[in-house]
Amino acid sequence: MIGLFALAAAAAAAPAVTADCAGGLCNYAVLKPYFDKLAAARGGGGKPVHILQIGDSHTAGDAITGAWRDMLQARYGSGGRGVMPPGKPFQGYNPRGVSVDMSAGWIVSSIFGPGSQSPRGARGLSGFSITSTAEGARIGLTASALETFNRFVICAIAEPGAGTLAISVGGEVERMELGSLITRPECKEMRFDRLQPAVSVVTEGGPVTITSWATFRDAGGVALSNVGVVGSQFIHFSRNDDAVVAEELRSYDPDLIVIAFGTNEGFAPRVNPQEYEIALRSQIGRIRRLAGRVPILLLGAPDALSRRSELLNNAPTVTPAPCIEPVTLPPLAAEPPEQPRAPDGIDDVLDALGEQAAVAKPTAPLLPAPAAVVASQPRIGWAITARPLFPPPGLKVVREVQRKVARQLRLGFWDWEARMGGRCTAVSWVKLQPTRMRPDYVHFNTAGGQEIATRLQADLDAAANAGGRW
């Protein structure tokens, strides 16, 4: 019998292509400059193709972007780890491909969360900055073998009375003097004749504020930067500084900007479609003004679920129908009762499992059990529970606005929810083996990140092929 995720993988491998959409990717013609550069990256040299993704916890966690990075670098070669927030800006920060450390003596500022209450330093693309007034405060980075680098960039704030950053790479030290008559952002770039595994940055003198740092490998390939702030919405991106963002974009020179917000907007207590559309258009316009003609890919909000009754009516739309969940049924007494049909995408799950109920094994996929076993053991069925799961209606509103704005502003748009399988699909991604999402029905585990990255890249490949490039 064909499993649910085998069917999904087959669909991801060969997405349907129309004049406007490739699988879940629509308006793909606007991404042609990126496709052209990526095609040239195969076997090329020099500056890598640079993808810059900004977003919320889906981006910050790097489960999806990390899998996407691995996939692209295996195909085209590594272009380095890309842009990161400086140091260790939040508890649990553990970027893939590099290890980072940060001494005591730093104060973290962010566009959202605890560090946003009393900002002490201007913030840029990463959504964070770190400030120190302590002599000898340090941050360090060590790259994995795949992410060793021959170009290092660090961005900081030059201002009156500021100190100096001593940057050590490969046994040599360069200094970045930040004292200035006026306050302004400044990025320093260092190039090396051979690949380097590590960098150390130490403060000297007066206060210093660092907004981001990055490592690149100038030998072609791909660099994929993920900069996200947990819990944030796109409107919070407006809290960073225009001058800092502009200087970082100039220095980091992305070839594709991916915008991956929407989940937190959809889970807000109230979602006003007009207000959200204004905020979305405003921030996209701002990025275009600061980044120039870089193509933009907007990711629609994924399927995500809640049991919180206060979210049942968080948008001006009908109350959502509950999702059907797998439940334990008593053993069969005689003929098995007819199983309830599930709405939307869950019917496909039931079809894949077959008409007979299946025995749940703790670590194995759900498979049809022998009749004798079914008759004597508890069974797995599908039902609406006492506290049912449901997708907050705000998520649908956010998705509809995103699609509309992407079409009108000529952005690429990827329908993340549809490529997961549609409404309530998160139930099967959490409950069925192998699991792809965490028990919060919002975030993805490593396997889920790999699956989402695979489906996104399959749609990008189909779009590029439709344009006659590969």
Q: Quick one: 249 and 397 in the same domain?
A: yes
Q: Quick one: 124 and 211 in the same domain?
A: yes
> Residue 88: inside a domain, yes or no?
no
Residue 439: is it exposed, middle or buried by C-beta count within 10 angstroms (0-12/13-18/19+)? exposed
> Residue 86: inside a domain, yes or no?
no
Q: Quick one: 31 and 99 in the same domain?
A: no
N-term to C-term CA, the chain? 35
**Count of domains forming the chain:** 3
Q: Report which of 63, 94, 144, 147 is spatially closest to residue 456, judged by C-alpha positions.
A: 63
3-class DSSP string for 161-199: CCCEEEEEECCEEEEEECECCCCEEEEEEEEEEEEECEE
> Residue 120: inside a domain, yes or no?
yes
Q: Quick one: 18 and 154 in the same domain?
A: no
> Residue 89: inside a domain, yes or no?
no
Cβ atoms within 10 Å of 467's Cβ, excluding its own = 16
Quote the tokens at residue 50.
């640079």
Give the model confidence (pLDDT) of 355-364 as tens digits.
333 333 333 3
Cβ atoms of 226 and 65 within 8 Å: the answer is yes
Domain end among 217, 242, 274? 217
Give the model confidence (pLDDT) of 119-141 as tens digits.
677 999 999 999 999 999 999 99
Give the model confidence (pLDDT) of 382-398 as tens digits.
888 889 999 999 999 99
> Residue 165: inside a domain, yes or no?
yes
Q: Quick one: 425 and 313 in the same domain?
A: yes
What is the domain range of residue 189? 95-217
CATH code for position 445: 3.40.50.1110
Chunked into runs of 10 residues, the chain (470 residues) has average pLDDT values of 43 73 95 94 85 98 97 96 97 94 96 82 94 96 97 97 97 96 97 97 95 96 97 96 98 98 98 97 98 97 97 92 87 58 42 34 40 57 89 98 98 98 97 96 98 98 75
